[in-house]
Structure 1
Amino acid sequence: MPIPIDTFFLDPKFEGTLQQKIQRMISEGVLSGRFIPGAKLPSSRKLAVHLGISRITVTLAYSELVSDDYLIAKGRSGYYVSPTAPQRSRFETPKGVVTDCVDWNKAIGQRFSDQVMPEKPMDWRSYPYPFIYGQADDRIFDHSNWRQCALQALGKREFSTVTADSFERDDPELVKYIALNTLPRRGIHAKPEQILITMGAQNALWLCAHVLLNQRRMAAMENPGYPGLRVALNLARCTVASVPVDDCGMVLDALPAETDVVFTTPSHHCPTNVTMPLERRRALLELASRNDFIIVEDDYEFEMSFLNPPEPALKSLDEEGRVIYVGSFSKSLFPGLRLGYVVGSEVFIREARALRAAILRHPPGHLQRTAANFLSLGHYDALVARMGQIYRKRREIMQEAIARCGLESVGINVAGGSSFWIKTPEGVDARDLALALKDRGVLIEPGHVFFERPEDGARFFRIAYSSIESARISAGITLIAETLHSFGKR
């Protein structure tokens, strides 16, 4: 029985090639049961005319569907739905209304959803002025070479490596590149046994918190500081000391004597972007030696030191093995990649690897090998250089607009980064400002989430230039200033 040609149409919402759209249209028809085994499909010529596309596109789609056993080709007769085509399991729909009778307040042993974290709209790209931190700019990223590296990772030579269960082990090529290329640029020398691949910096910080801390230990973090770290420390159930920051980063005199682990972002403090100078880095290491504590260095954005040469990493100055170094590719490649790494002593890495194995075994092999290919072929260094040039220009434009509009920028000792930390006038809550600006197409990030006590950050917000093109920056800053001015008239 032939399938009526009017049944076929291309889904305009599906983001893929014409060939992929045809394959999806037919495979969905087979899986849903609309196209039954033995049913005849229109000829490639007729379907091409009906859809207004080339015949070769339809022919290629049919060929792929044959190789996946959705269709079979019968000589000159045409294409038919395969009698052994894949099918979805079908279950009878329960009759009546299913009622949730569980008392979840009693059933839930621990709560995790009440943590304060930044909120970022999924549709941020639809806003004219998205000053959103940490998102990828499609106009900068090297799509073509990344695609080639992904295809290379799925080639016959590497297929068995990326598809195998590596248990707790990481991709040796990615580890090798990090050890021989990435870390030496930060002055760090490490053996493969001292490197662990993670699902981004957040996963790395969580691993550090749970390996190093318990209910009897104290962790110190910057205030304001990275909210994801505060969540990880809260889940570790340790005592958390919030240490203030100044124009040189964490204030060392405010560190409690009983501190066991210090978490810090010396290259670009989160969220002010201030850079810790060499003198304070040395002082922190001396204090760690004297008071016998561990330092976790979150170097999440070191590639973005385009204003001044980057200061040496704390890990590179460490002579006692006290520093655990956390790096990430999320800011320099794209956040959805979720690949980072931890560098530390072999004893620590062994424990972190065992903990990671209990949660997720290892990051996806295909992503690891694709990243390794992208790095080793030089595409990553070219991308970082291009981003540095573009970010420098955007920063100059934003800095000029901030000064022209009279906004108060906080943090003067800055080596680069991708954002500004702004303080509102007296009486203006940044959360209210963000809501008002959203209605005008401007997205900013209120700063309360970075503070131990959210009320302390009511007058702060962050604006980033990583995800907004240069031509829109000045107009967006002007809208922020105008909206702030209107708050002053209320």
Structure 2
Amino acid sequence: MAISVESFFLSPEAEGTLQAQIQQMIAQGILSGRFRKGEKLPSSRRMAEHLGVSRITVTLAYTELQANDYLESRDRSGYFVSQNAPEPPAFTPSAAKGDMIDWGRAIGRRYTGGATPEKPRDWSSYPYPFIFGQTDPSLFDHASWRHCALRALGQKEFQALAADAYDQDDPKLIEFIARHTLPRRGILAEPGEILLTMGAQNALWLTAQVLLTQRRTAAVEEPCYHALRDILTQSRCHMAPVPVDRDGLRPQALPERAEVIFTTPSHQAPTNATMPLDRRQELLTRAREMEALIVEDDYEFEISFLRAPLPSLKSLDTDGRVIYVGSFSKSIFPGLRLGYLVGPQAFIREARALRASVLRHPPGHVQRTTAYFLSLGHYDSLIRRIGKAYARRRQVMETALEDQGLGVEGRGVFGGSSIWMRAPEGVDTEDLARRLQARGVLIEPGRPFFEAARAPRNFYRLAYSSIPSERIADGIGILANELRA
């Protein structure tokens, strides 16, 4: 590998001759580890032109460095970092010179400190990964996705790939969502009422930024999706946690002062409670009385392998007060980072302007590839395959949990990809998760889903989306033994 000539520059504050400055510059690069053994330096002619010095000055510097074993010369090939060059120090370099800023005072707003759980990046190497939200490569249609990606790279698709669409989205993908995806949820929407986002989390962030202020109150489920709580904390609005029961959010428990209600009626996050139809109607009536808006996160509605899902809140809304959040990241693969918002044009217009100021739009190639994957029928085939696999895995998991006598707290009425669990009182599932990880079992502790001040420690989530059926019983057995211990 060749070292770019742009890596070198002479500091106007440097002391000594030009030859000495060049020697010091190269030696420091080697000692810091930036230049590695065997890498080729720029020719003396290119280096001289770049630095604005004579070629003989560079040649003398290279020769001196060669004499000190920093460089080696290869016949007709130039100079390279010597294999005998001094090794970079093993210690961590100190802070950059001149960093005298008090960042504790300089940072105006803080975004760290949330309750986002940590998941091992190498989760797939564990024998028993009961991890939520990851893709099982054995179920994914790699060949069809590759075909769609190549088609989206074609010459005819160059504009979709390379153009700056500013605040607009791929018309092919918007058309499919409007004509095929949303009607399955009973939703009819015009293109101007749909906005693509970088996943559901980005959709929730845009919604919170547009609808909430420091004086407004957001009602959230308790427990709820941990990232939503972080988003609302950053918006500086007032938060009103509303406890959920086995049917999800309780409309009569909503505080009068709430202007925006966040809910996950199809699969409550994380308890998997499914809101019945009569409660959905009750929630819409209650929101009308309060003059509140509803943000419906309809994640995992596609994964309904037990029976057809209930109509979405958005489809039952006659007032235009429901903002709908959908995502392809859960059903295709999480790294896709592609979701969408559906709402009145006045709201979408503001969300579109905010998105444009932050990230313009999701990458064009990703949008067009997804449009082909959906329109050619590969998505529907993938959902059917996932549904069959999840149905088998869920049956195996429920049998194993029953055999081991473990406490199930919530399971999705229509399907989903996980089961919400309760350990005996006194068990800290974060400590349990650490012990299980050492034995090859990954679970998700429940504490991050609760408000910090009153978070119980004995809940956890088991997902069956990322573990083969034949490993589930053994993993549950290890979990049960740790709980008994």
TM range, normalised to the smaller chain? 0.7 to 0.9
One-letter code of the match for 1:473? I
Aligned 8 A contact 2:261 2:292 in 1: yes
1:176-227, Cα deviation, whole Å (9 max, x unpaired): 0000000000000000000000000000000010100101111001000001
Deviation at 1:287, TM superposition (A): 0.9
Code of the aligned partner of 2:240: A
Report how many residues are paired. 403
Structure 1 residues 286 and 341, CA gap change in structure 2 (3 angstroms): same
**Which residue of 16, 28, 40 maps to 1:33?**
40
Structure 2: give runs of 5+ residues left out of the alignment. Answer: 1-35, 45-75, 78-92
Q: Which residue of 1 aligns with 2:33?
A: none
Report the 3-state secondary structure (helix = DSSP H, G, I; strand = E; otherwise coil) of the residue aligned with 1:304: coil
Residue 179 of structure 1 aligns with which residue?
Answer: 178
| Offset of residue 160 of structure 1 | 1.7
Q: What is aligned with 1:280?
A: 279
Which residue in 1 is equivalent to 2:130?
Answer: 131
Q: CA deviation at 1:399?
A: 0.5
Matched, 1:306 2:305: yes
Cα distance in 1 for residues equivalent to 2:120 and 2:310: 34
SS of the aligned residue for 1:284 comes to: helix
What corresponds to 1:481 in structure 2? Answer: 480
Q: Show CA shifts across 1:127-184 (max 9, x none).
A: 1111110001000000000001000001011112221000000000000000000000
Mapped partners of 2:95, 2:241: distance in 1 = 49
Q: 2:262 matched to which residue of 1? A: 263
* 1:440 matched to 2:439: yes
Deviation of 1:35 after TM superposition, in Å, equals 10
Q: Distance in 2 between matches of 1:283 and 1:160?
A: 47
- CA deviation after TM superposition for structure 1 residue 296, in Å: 0.4
Distance of 1:96 and 1:160 partners within structure 2 = 46
Q: Which amino acid aligns with 2:248?
A: G
CA drift of 1:101 comes to: 2.0
Tell me how far apart the structure 1 counterparts of residues 123 and 148 of structure 2 sit (CA, whole Å): 28
User: Structure 1 CA distance, aligned partners of 2:96 and 2:236?
Assistant: 37
Q: Which residue does the alignment assign to 2:357?
A: 358
User: Residues of 2 paired with 1:335 and 1:415: CA distance?
Assistant: 22
How far does the alpha carbon of each residue in 1:381-405 deviate from its partner, in whole angstroms, 9 at most, with x for none?
0000100000000000001001100
Q: Where do residues 69-468 of structure 1 align in structure 2 (5 Å cutoff)?
A: 98-99=96-97, 100-411=99-410, 414-453=413-452, 455-468=454-467
Give the CA deviation at 1:274: 1.1
The match for 1:9 is none
Q: Which residue of 2 is the match for residue 56 of structure 1?
A: none
Could you report, residue by residue, the CA deviation over 1:65-104 in whole angstroms, capped at 9, with x for unpaired residues? xxxxxxxxxxxxxxx99xxxxxxxxxxxxx9973332211
1:364-384 Cα deviation digits (max 9, x unpaired): 000000000000000000000
SS in 1 for 2:324: strand
* Contact in 2 for aligned 1:448/1:454 (Cα 8 Å): no
- The 3-state SS of whatever aligns with 1:458 is coil
Name the SS of the counterpart of 2:295 in structure 1. strand
What is the Cα deviation at residue 232 of structure 1? 0.9
**C-alpha spacing 1:217/1:400, structure 2 compared with 1 (3 Å):** same
Contact residue 117 and residue 449 of structure 1 kept, 8 A? yes
Structure 1: runs of 5+ lacking an equivalent: 1-28, 38-79, 82-94
Q: Is the alpha carbon distance of 1:35 and 1:131 closer, same or farther for their aligned partners in structure 2, counting shifts above 3 Å? A: farther
In 2, Cα distance between equivalents of 1:454 and 1:311: 34
Shift of 1:342: 0.2
Query: Structure 1 residue 32: deviation in Å?
Result: 5.4
Identity of aligned residues (%): 57
What per-residue deviation string (whole Å, max 9, x for no partner) do you get for residues 6-41 of structure 1? xxxxxxxxxxxxxxxxxxxxxxx9x9537989xxxx
Distance (whole Å) between structure 1 residues aligned to residue 134 and residue 411 of structure 2 = 24
For residues 412 and 146 of structure 2, the distance between their equivalents in structure 1, rounded to whole angstroms, comes to 38
- The answer on whether the counterparts of 2:221 and 2:243 sit within 8 Å (CA) in structure 1 is yes
1:275-323 CA-partner distances (Å, limit 9, x unpaired): 1000000000111112111000000110011112100000000111010
Q: Does the residue aligned with 2:479 lie in a helix, a strand or coil? A: helix
Separation (CA, whole Å) in 2 of partners of 1:482 and 1:414: 29
* C-alpha distance in 2 between matches for 1:358 and 1:459: 42
Alignment check: 8 A CA contact 2:130 2:467 kept:
yes
CA contact (8 A) 2:304 2:415 kept: yes
The CA distance in 2 between the partners of 1:182 and 1:318, in whole Å, is: 18
